[in-house]
């Protein structure tokens, strides 16, 4: 568990992986879909996810330059787990917080 969480844990990595999903997506679109993340943090998190082999970066030789990110097979294998975590959060945590008047 410790090793896994050191790779995919933290505030942003699960969200970034979820946003990329099963498609190729540009940096700006990821940033648009996660407005609370800064460009610098997003770039660093994507580099780490690429280093761990969960995301691949594809550069196109165009003007202006275009870069897309997509999940590798290892990254895609995390999607059912992330989906299960989202379902768990929606059915357990969110309802309790709303009942307690926190949200």
Look at residue 101 in the predicted model and tell me its pLDDT: 61
Comparing CA positions, the residue from 55, 41, 42, 40 lying closest to residue 7 is 55
Q: Options 3.40.50.720, 3.20.20.70, 1.10.10.10, 3.10.180.10; which CATH number does 2-99 get?
A: 1.10.10.10
Is the pLDDT at 103 greater than 90? The verdict is no
Q: What is the pLDDT of residue 64?
A: 86
Reported as a single tens digit per residue, the pLDDT across 57-90 is 999 998 888 999 999 999 999 999 999 998 988 8
Percent of the chain predicted with pLDDT > 90: 78
Cα(102)–Cα(43) distance, integer angstroms: 32
Cα–Cα distance, 89 to 79 (Å, whole number): 15
- Residue scoring higher pLDDT (86 or 24): 24
Average of per-residue pLDDT values in the chain: 91
Q: How far apart are CA 63 and CA 65, in angstroms?
A: 5
């Amino acid at each position: 568990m410790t090793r896994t969480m050191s790779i995919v844990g933290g505030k942003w990595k699960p969200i970034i992986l979820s946003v990329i999903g099963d498609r190729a997506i540009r940096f700006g679109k990821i940033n648009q879909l996660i407005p609370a993340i800064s460009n610098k943090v997003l770039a660093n998190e994507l580099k780490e996810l690429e280093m761990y082999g969960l995301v691949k970066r594809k550069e196109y030789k165009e003007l202006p330059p275009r870069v897309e990110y997509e999940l590798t097979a290892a990254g895609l294998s995390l999607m059912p787990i992330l989906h299960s975590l989202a379902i768990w959060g929606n059915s357990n945590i969110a309802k309790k917080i709303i009942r307690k008047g926190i949200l």
